[in-house]
Amino acid sequence: MTGSWDTPDRRENARGTPQTGAPYPYPLPDPYRYQPAAIPGGYPPPYGGYPPRAAAPKNGLGVASLVLAVIGLVSVATVFAPIALGVAAVITGVIGHGRVKRGAANNGGVAIAGIVLGGLAIVVGLAFIAIWTTVWKDVGGGDYIGCMQKAGNDQFAQQQCADQFRRNVQDQLNITLTPTPVR
């Protein structure tokens, strides 16, 4: 730096060209000043001294758990879907609740609801398996399968097996099934 009473202070910048003015820019107001202790990892804050934004909560697994559990409960008539969806709901709910415990998510109630309803879907699915198995035995479902295997490709014998099975269902369950149209 050179200067005298009649010339301002002169300094050179990184490119070696002379520059005049104060040696440092004016200080920022205190709320915007960089404070290394406030930043985790000691890295300078991005975008002019503002602190980084907090990460958005990762609530997807808790919501997915609840959705899977509800779909599992609605699909109880399909026998195996509630069990598979219930297991998936419990697993995603447990992982989602783990995220809540770590502070990465904020929907603990949704995750717990998914776990509880997923467990309920499993229990209801197992109950429906027992119900359908009992009904299948009562109406002679095993006899129907055996009859169809014996019939082979004979259309007349297959129709007799179907008619016999329909009569068994109507007699055992006290319902009337609509007859299939003859072609």
The pTM of the full predicted model, rounded to 2 decimals, is 0.60
Whether pLDDT at 168 is above 90: no
What's the pLDDT at 115?
97
Residue type, 31: P
What's the pLDDT at 46?
57
Give 65-122 pLDDT, tens digit per residue: 999 999 999 998 887 999 999 999 999 999 999 999 998 889 999 999 999 999 999 9
Residue type, 66: L
Domain ranges of the chain: 26-137, 139-173
What's the pLDDT at 177?
73
Could you tell me if 96 and 113 are in contact, meaning their C-beta atoms sit under 8 angstroms apart?
no
What's the pLDDT at 178?
72
37 versus 167: which is more confidently predicted?
167
What's the pLDDT at 86?
96
What's the pLDDT at 126?
94
What's the pLDDT at 174?
81
Tokens standing for residue 44: 């300078």
What's the pLDDT at 179?
64
Tokens standing for residue 128: 């429906």
d(CA 86, CA 114): 9
Whether pLDDT at 60 is above 60: yes
Give 9-59 pLDDT, tens digit per residue: 555 555 666 655 555 555 555 555 555 555 555 565 555 656 667 778 888
What's the pLDDT at 26?
56
